[in-house]
Chains A and B, each alone.
Chain A
């Protein structure tokens, strides 16, 4: 088990996954930041959050996605970034599962708003689950992330 954890290949696989997740989150945040009102409507459509928290979520979440995406791509505070990615993926999956269980016929709001993207299905949930699995891989197996983190560690040591 220890040999598996110490395998050097994890860093390279994790680098690929990090870059992929970083691009996914960059694509996801773009429309939300440009059109906060549309995204707020998407958040409200899930009918999960109380009205008082809808706009707060719609405003802050895309910026968290943006910073996290940049951190993943640059390899800066990678483990904190991927912790946030995993937390967001769990949050998205819970919201999707509730909407699907209620039988709501609506767009995901993940990459575009106002139903402009594909309607939510169980496949959307599987897709998010796959991204969560990627995030967990990076979280657990990328011990010394390639990127700015490693450069900064070298300089200080």
Chain B
């Protein structure tokens, strides 16, 4: 009986609150409709599946060795003009993550570590792609700080127009 009284009192409080809320909302100039007419534009950043990555100096990369899977994270056009020897081009795109199938194809080689280089900007597309790959559960993922400029300086590559 006492419990019922309690619930009744609580119900009365909710009813009074509802009446007060609707009345004040009707009177104010910036009131909102009781039922929203359009979906709210909510901006909640998606959780990024980024994993841990390790920086690796160009001098420590085993260029041309199958043990290092070298990935160029720059756009196709830029990678087409110059790319490190043996590098595979996987353009990094914030809105288009690397699919599991694509990743499986890449990792089917007998590499024991993955080395990614990108544009070297801030943020560096190479580091971002490396985090994305690592976020898929791949271990031993590295990126080259400084990106393509650091790689080219090390390799002494010539620009191909």
Contact partner, A60, options B18, B30, B42, Cβ 8 Å: B18
Contact partner, B32, options A40, A77, A106, Cβ 8 Å: A40
Kindly state whether residue B156 has any CB partner on chain A within 8 Å: no
Task: Assess whether A40 is in contact with B40, with CB atoms less than 8 Å apart.
Answer: yes
A42 to chain B, nearest CB (A): 9
B133 to chain A, nearest CB (A): 20
Task: Assess whether B44 is in contact with A80, with CB atoms less than 8 Å apart.
Answer: no
Give the docked Cα–Cα distance between A77 and B2 (Å).
12
Which of A7-15, A18-26, A45-53 forms part of the interface with chain B?
A45-53
- Chain A's interface: helix, strand, loop or mixed, by majority? helix
By size class, the interface of chain B is: 20 to 34
Q: Using a Cβ–Cβ cut-off of 8 Å, how many residues does chain A contribute to the interface with B?
A: 35
8 Å CB interface, A37-61 against B: 37, 40-41, 44-45, 47, 51-52, 54-56, 58-60
Kindly state whether residue B1 has any CB partner on chain A within 8 Å: no
Which of B7-15, B75-83, B85-93 forms part of the interface with chain A?
B7-15
Contact partner, A58, options B6, B16, B32, Cβ 8 Å: B32
Give the docked Cα–Cα distance between A71 and B40 (Å).
34
Task: Assess whether A77 is in contact with B13, with CB atoms less than 8 Å apart.
Answer: yes
Nearest A residue to B20 by beta-carbon distance? Answer: A63
Nearest 3 pairs between A and B by C-beta? A80-B9, A103-B47, A44-B40
26 intermolecular pairs with C-beta atoms under 8 Å apart: A36-B25, A36-B32, A40-B40, A41-B40, A41-B42, A44-B39, A44-B42, A45-B40, A51-B39, A52-B35, A52-B36, A55-B33, A55-B34, A55-B35, A56-B34, A59-B34, A60-B21, A63-B20, A64-B17, A67-B13, A67-B16, A67-B17, A71-B13, A80-B13, A81-B13, A83-B10
List B residues at the A interface (Cβ < 8 Å). Answer: 6-7, 9-10, 12-14, 16-18, 20-22, 24-25, 30-36, 39-40, 42, 44-45, 47
